[in-house]
Amino acid sequence: VQLQASGGGLMQAGDSLRLSCAVSGRTFINLSTAWFRQVPGKEREFVATIFRSASNSYYADSVKGRFTISRDNAKNTVYLQMDILNPEDTAVYYCAASSTIILSSIRTPEAYAYWGQGTQVTVSS
C-alpha cells in the first residue's frame, strides 16, 4: 500500500487548508484511514481517523470542531479539511491506513501498518 500526502503549506492564523492523501496498492474501501501530526522532538500525535465504512470518524480534542476528515472511495483519497488554523497546528502531517484498526487503537500510531511521507503545515500568527 502506498500513501501520498499533499496540500501542506505556509498559512496564517485563521486560514483554512485541505490536505489530501492518495492511496494505492490495495482496495481502498478495505482500509480505515487517519491523519497524525508531528513536531520535532515530540511524539507523533493523533489528529483524526475515519473508518472504512466512512460512517464513523473521530478527532483529537485539539482539533474537534475545526478539522474534518473525509474520504472519497471513488478517488481512493482521504482528506483533512483544516479550518481556523492556529500556530499550534504547525507540524508535519502524515496520513496512515490500516485494514485491521479497532476503536480502542485509533490514537496509536503503531496500530497503522501503512504511512505516507508527510506534508509540512506551518501556521504563522
Average pLDDT score over residue span 1-12: 97
pLDDT digits (tens, 9 = 90+) for 34-67: 999 999 999 999 999 999 877 799 999 999 999 9
Q: What is the pLDDT of residue 24?
A: 92
For residues 84 and 15, give the distance between their C-alpha atoms in angstroms, rounded to a whole number.
6
C-alpha cell at 17: 487548508
For residue 120, the 8-state DSSP code is E
User: What pLDDT was estimated at residue 45?
Assistant: 98
Compute the average pLDDT of residues 70-99.
Answer: 96
Q: Which residues pair with 4 in a beta bridge?
A: 22
Question: What's the pLDDT band for 81 if we cut at 50, 70, 90?
Answer: very high
pLDDT digits (tens, 9 = 90+) for 28-39: 999 999 999 999
Identify how many contiguous H helices and E strands the chain contains and give both numbers.
Answer: 0, 11
The 3-state DSSP class for residue 119 equals: strand
User: What is the rounded distance in angstroms from the CA atom of residue 61 to the CA atom of residue 18?
Assistant: 19
